Structure 1
Amino acid sequence: MPICNITITAIKPHRLPFPDSNDVSLGIELKRKHLDLEWPQDDTAKYFGVLKDSYQNWEWNQYLPHIKNRKKIVSFLGFNFWDDGTELLSNKVLLYRIEYGLTMSELAQKINVSVRTVERIENNEIHISEKMNKKVEEHINH
């Protein structure tokens, strides 16, 4: 027969510590958020509609999420990781593609320009005609 009845309770610590606040890579931002929400990786992967392995690759910065997943990531994080805060056409085009879930190929087809033109604009390459820049900008601003 026990001498006394004592119950000890404690808060279970996270299995993994929160990432360093100085690291602002996409993978770390995703990891920080899922730990903050106390979601296991399985549940976080389900939220995005991807396999756990795919989600882990995002967290480990091994792969960038497909453009079709990025809008949901923006919502999950509460900010747009890809927005560089500029008014450059390269930033505007990428944010447009994220908003509408368009691949470079889909945007190129929609605007009737080459995929390489969209790629060059997003990469901020300098050899793009003013006509092409204007055509793309007019489309994404409407």
Structure 2
Amino acid sequence: MQFGRALHRILQRILHANPIHGPVYISKIDIADGFYRIQLAPYAVPHLAVLLPQHPNEEAMIAFPLVLPMGWVNSPPYFSAVTETGADLMNQRLKQRPQEPPHRLEELALNPPALEKPASSLPPTTHRVDIYIYI
């Protein structure tokens, strides 16, 4: 698996994270899984059929995907269109709801307190960090 310098930068940021803010949490979302959640219209299924390899004297088998396959040239535009449409519908629905009170920590998130020392001058922490990478 190739990370380039991304893994190095992530680990460096974790190592030098300001302990005032508590432990570091990481979440990695793989959008490839999203492709497999978009169902195909029945008329589109045969267009993406794949002939599976076969041994001599073996009957040919064809796979018919029922969901958007990762790797198909047009998958990214379809996926983008579906996620944008979903976001638009959700935003429209949120606008129709009565205004809810702000989150109790919203003011703190918008106006964080000033640090006494810059984060770079703080000593590195020696707490344990677990990183899970799923392939």
Please say whether Structure 1 and Structure 2 have the same fold, judged by a TM-score greater than 0.5: no
TM-score (norm 2): 0.22
The answer to which structure, 1 or 2, has the higher relative contact order (CA under 8 A, 6+ apart) is 2
Structure with higher Rg: it is 2
In terms of fraction of residues, the more helix-rich structure is 1
TM-score (norm 1): 0.21
